[in-house]
Structure 1
Amino acid sequence: MANHLYDALFGRHAGSEADFLIAPDGARTTYRAFLADAARYAHALRGAGLAPGDRVALQLEKSAHMLAVIAGAIRAGIVFLPLNTAYTPAEVAYFVGNSGARLLLADSARADALAPVAGDCGAALMTLDPDGSGSFANLAAGQAEDFPAEPCGPDTLAALLYTSGTTGRSKGAMMSHANLLSNAEVLVDAWRFTSADVLLHALPIFHTHGLFVATNVALLAGCPMIFLPKFDTETVIRLLPKATTMMGVPTFYTRLLDDPRLNRDLVSGMRLFVSGSAPLLAETHRKWEDRTGHRILERYGMTETNMNTSNPYDGDRRAGTVGLPLPGIELKVCDAAGHPVREGEIGVIEVRGPNVFKGYWQMPEKTREELRGNGFFITGDLGQIDADGYVSIVGRGKDLIITGGFNVYPKEIEMALDARPGVLESAVIGVPHPDFGEAVVAVVVPEKGAKLDPDALRQEIAAELAAFKRPKHIAIVTDLPRNTMGKVQKNLLRDSYAPLFRG
């Protein structure tokens, strides 16, 4: 049996002297050199006592070495858990304990804090730094540059990706070899990637977007990546002329728009800008097109499914929508019982396809709650589909506000607020209210130099919204809390404003 994922992504490049990774300073790593590192790390994983099917947790800063460890794990049939670098030792303890990881790889700077975690969980702790030093690197040094790939079929577990856990304990989404490969194959075709591309990669690789979308697409296409440790406006501005494509979160685009050097000449060699992981404001779409001549392609995905929809490469890229279901993926908008709603009505998005995960690790009841017997996954996202088949995301089901018995969808109010002069962005939440159950609260960020009056804002949007939808309180703030992928953390806002209408 072949190794389904490794052979398709990495094995195809065996012996290739073509460039794979380009560092910010211009240093280049060929596919051959990268695969040699991956083989040494595969040997090191086995040397650390891990067998096929065992788990390795990685809380590492983004680097070529971290990526090579992941390639080595796939090659050795070992399941990997990439962990957000912002997680605290207490959070890491949950992931390592829940997954039963036998090895925790961390940066040297975190070793002391994570040693008790590894000890309590019965895992070994080893270090690997971005420069390739550390105890795990020492174990890999001198190992052979080849490793017989472990036989793994399409349904073999490849990775555990833990959800953000904003509404309870994080869940480990089980991603198979087929889940990851099928999605990458669809995206290469949908977004027209070829070996002639150069992908500017500034996303983290502990997340679906940076790892399973950006990296896997580049591997399948055989194109090099300019591999940045993180997004930095100055560095991205400098390197954009050397790239043809970029994938980012909305924050990338708003920060670049703040730089006067962003113009059509700077991006004349680019063919595609992709945005995801958080909603992109229609205003950002418009400004980007005005400044660069490019229309950003927005898509929709999540931890459990990778990518589900995309605006078309050729055709109408509609601001405010996430496009059409990708080939091979079924998407429907349903009521609570799972019955499709009528065209244009709001409901819960459900998806089915080869991209959909195999269930939650050690959570069979939660798996049965969210993964129907017919293969449809209940995403928890509220959306609607228009007459042309374009999908719009209204919000998360948990963000639905029920005030005085009426349903209020935050997105509708946010769009009304965001369209007002001087408003940069907004977030609408529901907070406890003694009379209405929940009250609508808007948290608004002004544009630079703008002065916003909450009462005036309320009056301006009154003509567009029914009385029960209008915010009972508008707060003006300097910024909104976000996670590392740019998503607004509405749970933190709800906590902050929960006392607003109490006594």
Structure 2
Amino acid sequence: MSEPDLYARLAASMARFADKVAIETADRDWTYRDLESAAARLAAVLRNRGVTPGERVLAQTDKSVEAVVLYLATLRLGAIYLPLNIDYTESELAYFVADATPVLAVCRNASRDLFRRIGGNALAIATLDDLFADLTDADASVFARQPGDVAAILYTSGTTGKPKGAMLTHRNLVSNGETLIDFWRFTPDDRLIHALPIFHVHGLFVALHCAFFSGAAVIFQPRFDPQAVIAAMPRAKVLMGVPTFYIRLLNDPAFTREAASAMRLFVSGSAPLSADIHRAFEARTGHRVLERYGMTETGMITSNPYEGARKAGFVGPPLPGVSVRIAGEDGAPLPDGEVGIVEVNGPNVFAGYWQMPEKTASEFRPGGWFITGDMGLIDADGYVQLVGREKDLIISGGLNVYPAEVEALLDDRDDVAEAAVIGVPHPDFGEAVVAVVRPSGRLDEDAVRADLRRDLAGFKVPRRIIAVDELPRNTMGKIQKKVLRERYADLFAQD
């Protein structure tokens, strides 16, 4: 039997579980039949607006079931889905539009003029309301795709500051989803609390595919609110979140062992969960958080087991069908226990970066091994431990920030002679972005941050800008960011 494409796999679930509730919101319940019908009719609207197989559909919308239907409708047509963070600024969006050349941008009403300025006459623009207002009884046939065809492009910032579009194929997304529902024991009886955004891998692919592939129900919440999540727990079984979720739940006195008693699984990812939080969560609830490890380019790579030891500070062994090794800078594999670069191979590994063949080639070893850039080790039990990041990636609230992108804007300023951007521990976000700068004149921290907000999404803007006389350097003149991270490690420490 040939491998199904992603929409065929989703459609099989929507047919099998047609009368079950797929998504529950405060306003209504959507059955799997409702989702399939809406996706079929919306696909006809997209087709009438010029979307054809292989074209890109850009989506920068608020979280809603209608946005999920847009994703399904795009796949049904054989087109490529391009979700974007709603916090991206005009300059960031202009890059994505120029690079991906989408045929349609689906945006919020307030963003219409912005996309008109960016795309001109070459870009069709619509809101979800526009598209759903055009629905009729007509639907669009399913356009079958091959396993190696691209299903989605997700942009990830580059260490040089230039974002890269990771091309995720139908095989990548189907194989990862099938592996996870088996490994994490998903069944049609599950109900997943979904409080994540749906513009990245965690919320869109991991959470929704686990639910949809297995016929489970999704309790769809517009954003993470600890009280709303706690209120949903008595009728739910699974929560997927980032470390910030679990930190904020522990800070809420209503989050008790009794409140979590109906739950079977808490999953954490997108950023490291500290061992302290892991232990505090178990002490409060009796549940051990299941920590896993993934990337935009690979989906999920490793996971602590559903049954068996969930080690605090470790992200578990490789998932079935996925291979992980630790390599030195020369690419030679290292023995267990030694720290090196984490490299991954398997059906989950992406097809490369959109329109960047040279960059793609530089990120792979012979044999298809993808160089993650994360530093880690594998212990005697086969569990992976991440110990840092080769290129200083900052993960704040589960979102990636690459220092080079922020540093480039700071270095362009007349009042900044040079800048170093680092991540330091933060009690709520895991890591906070901090800029340490050597001023070339009078520096107004609030004014600098306000200026940066015009060019950067809010999560990338430094929470503090610290002026110093000199930046620490090694004998080769390179700024020692490790020294800075150590110096300001307690900047956000709680009293």
TM-score normalised according to structure 1 size: 0.80
CA–CA separation in structure 1 for the residues paired with 2:474 and 2:235: 58
Alignment match, 1:18: 20
2-side partners of 1:425 and 1:62: how far apart? 23
> What does 1:2-81 correspond to in 2, within 5 Å?
4-14=5-15, 16-24=18-26, 27-81=28-82
- Asked if 1:142 is matched to 2:136, the reply is yes
Change (3 A) 1:435 1:214: closer
**Partners of 1:323 and 1:349 in 2: how far apart?**
13
Equivalent in the alignment of 1:340: 333
Matched residue of 2:365: which SS? coil
Corresponding residue for residue 486 of structure 1: none
For 2:491, the equivalent position in structure 1 comes to 476
Q: Residue 214 of structure 1 contacts residue 247 of structure 1 at CA under 8 Å; is this kept in 2?
A: yes
C-alpha distance in structure 1 between counterparts of 2:36 and 2:106, whole Å? 20
Paired residue for 2:98?
Answer: 97
Taking a change above 3 Å as real, the CA distance of residues 434 and 220 of structure 1, as seen in their structure-2 partners, is closer
Aligned to 2:222: 229
- What is the letter of the counterpart of residue 136 of structure 2? G
Q: How does 1:104-183 map to 2 (within 5 A)?
A: 104-119=105-120, 122-128=122-128, 133=129, 135-139=130-134, 141-144=135-138, 146-165=139-158, 167-183=160-176
Q: 1:57 Cα deviation (Å)?
A: 0.4
1:369 paired residue among 362, 367, 379:
362
**Alpha-carbon shift at residue 280 of structure 1 (Å):** 0.5
2:314 is aligned to: 321
Residues 32-71 of structure 1 show CA distances to partners (whole Å, capped at 9, x for unaligned) of 1111111111111100011111111000111100000110
Residue segments in structure 1 that go unaligned for 5+ positions in a row: 401-412, 444-470, 480-503
Greater CA drift, 424-433 or 320-329: 424-433
Tell me how large the CA RMSD over aligned residues is: 2.5
Are the counterparts in 2 of residues 3 and 75 from structure 1 also a CA contact under 8 Å? no
Q: Which amino acid aligns with 2:472?
A: H
Distance in 1 separating the partners of 2:143 and 2:435: 50
CA displacement, residues 98-155 of structure 1 (integer Å, 9 cap, x when unaligned): 11111100011211222211217x2111111xxxx2x22223x2142x4321021211
Match of 1:187 in 2: 180
Output the amino acid matched with 1:379: T
Give how far 1:167 is off: 3.7
Aligned to 2:260: 267
CA distance in structure 2 between the aligned counterparts of 1:200 and 1:423, rounded to whole angstroms:
20
- Which residue of the partner structure matches residue 371 of structure 2? 378
Offset of residue 473 of structure 1 = 5.6
Are the counterparts in 2 of residues 79 and 158 from structure 1 also a CA contact under 8 Å?
Answer: yes
- Give the letter aligned to residue 31 of structure 1: Y
Q: Which amino acid aligns with 2:227?
A: E
Which region of structure 1 is more displaced relative to structure 2, 9-18 or 223-232?
9-18
Name the counterpart of 1:433: 472
Count of residues in correspondence between the two structures = 426
Provide the rounded CA distance (Å) in 2 between the counterparts of 1:166 and 1:368: 16
Taking the aligned partners of 1:108 and 1:3, their CA distance within structure 2 comes to: 36
Report Cα offsets for 1:446-481 as digits up to 9, x if no partner.
xxxxxxxxxxxxxxxxxxxxxxxxx456552379xx
- Residue 425 of structure 1 deviates from its aligned partner by 6.5
Q: Which residue of structure 1 lines up, in the alignment, with residue 251 of structure 2? A: 258
In the TM superposition, residue 424 of structure 1 has moved relative to its aligned partner by 10
Partner amino acid, structure 1, of 2:491: I
Change (3 A) 1:175 1:230: same
CA distance in 1, matches of 2:428, 2:187: 40
Residue 88 (structure 2) aligns with: 87
Aligned 1:394-433 pairs, distance under 5 A: 394-399=387-392, 432-433=471-472
Cα drift, residue 89 of structure 1: 1.8
Task: Provide the C-alpha distance between the structure 2 equivalents of 1:156 and 1:435, rounded to a whole number of angstroms.
Answer: 46
**Correspondence for 1:279:** 272
1:455-470 → structure 2 map (5 Å cutoff): none
Summarize the Cα distance change of 1:69–1:424 in structure 2 as closer, same or farther, 3 Å threshold.
Answer: closer
Measure, in 2, the Cα distance between the counterparts of 1:33 and 1:231.
25
Q: Which residue of 2 aligns with 1:501?
A: none
Is 1:430–1:438's contact at 8 Å kept on the other side of the alignment? no
Partners of 2:488 and 2:15 in 1: CA distance = 60
| Preserved CA contact (<8 Å) 1:399 1:430 | no
